[in-house]
Amino acid sequence: MPSTLLQTLKAADEARTAVGHFNVSDSVVLQAVASAARESGLPVIVGLSEGERNFFGTHEAAAMVNAIRDSHGQAIFLNADHTHSVESAIAAVKAGFNSVVFDRSALPFEENIRETRNAVQTLKSLNPAVIVEGEIGDIGTGSQIHEKAPDRLVLTTPEEARQFVQETGVDVLSPAVGNMHGMLKSMLQGTTQKRLNVARITEIKAAAGIYMTLHGGSGTNDDDLREAIRSGITVVHVNTEIRVAWKRALQDAFAKDDAEVVPYKLLAEPFRAVQDVVRRRLQLFNSAAVRAHST
Ligand code: G3H
Ligand code: ZN
């Protein structure tokens, strides 16, 4: 099994599979993600946004992931997700995070390029092995339940992608290809799904020739995900599906027995629910290549 994140990305890219990236806010969800990946025999990336790091603790998350890696010998990597400042990115790299999503996508394109290039140089001077991802385009904010889709999500163009990658030196690119963060209520009810522009993914991959992350994986059509992975998506981020499964299972556990007060008994249900999401998603992310050969 590849031992570094870069080797893991390379292997996934060559096999036309994707590495699963799952966000965590606490140690229960982290253990659930790690154990599901371990049982599946697959590498996994655990991500914490700035908000999630503030809650969990940047050093605490790093220490726990290191402990899991050491005691189980599994390929588990830690990502500083959606990091908006160089200071916060530096803190994560110093704590031992393997990668940083440096997200200045809200800025005008040229400013985003300038700030991302600066972040790449600064972070790699601290740790040359750290993987830096840059973002372009608008994919909405928040791994939450939204009433309605954002009015206008502009797709990344192949030319923008090529220029951004060349001028910033990022290792990984996050494009806007029909994806968005969070889930609509209708997605929870199962009446709508996110749809991806797979042709655009193919064009961007050809123009930029770089590893690519699909953010906003929750609620995406399964076939679109498989096609996107075959077309060059190397990492898929999932957060809201985990949060929804966690909350529903926790509510069920609380409702079942009003007298139960033992945390590890109550938390066993959300633990299993998160494991289930991670198992299913990892299976799908690794099925694209298999189906490509069999069709
Ligand atoms: O960075 C996190 C993700 O992009 C998660 O998006 O909540 O729609 O799965 P999601
Ligand atoms: Zn994201």
Tell the residue nearest (CA) to atom 2 of ligand 1.
237
Q: Which CATH number fits domain 5-294: 3.40.190.10, 3.20.20.70, 2.60.40.10, 3.30.70.330?
A: 3.20.20.70
| Residues ≥6 apart with Cβ < 8 Å to 184 | 145, 146, 147, 148, 149, 192, 219
Do residues 67 and 96 touch, judged by C-beta distance below 8 A?
Answer: no
Residue 202 one-letter amino acid: T
pTM of whole model > 0.75?
yes
pLDDT of residue 150: 83
CB 19 within 8 A of CB 234: yes
| DSSP H stretches of helix in 209-267 | 222-230, 240-256, 263-266
Distance 139 CA to ligand 2 centre (A): 8
- The pLDDT profile of the chain, 295 residues, written as one tens digit per residue, is 658 999 999 999 999 999 999 999 999 999 999 999 999 999 999 999 999 999 999 999 999 999 999 999 999 999 999 999 999 999 999 999 999 999 999 999 999 999 999 999 999 999 999 999 999 998 988 999 999 888 878 899 999 999 999 999 999 999 999 999 999 999 999 999 999 999 999 999 999 999 999 999 999 999 999 999 999 999 999 999 999 999 999 999 999 999 999 999 999 999 999 999 999 999 999 996 655 444 4
Crossing angle of helices 109-126 and 158-168, in 10° steps, is 40
Phi, psi of 99 (to 5 degrees): -150, 160
**Cα 290 to ligand 2 centroid, rounded to whole Å:** 27
Residue of minimum CA distance from atom 8 in ligand 1: 216
pLDDT value of position 153: 80
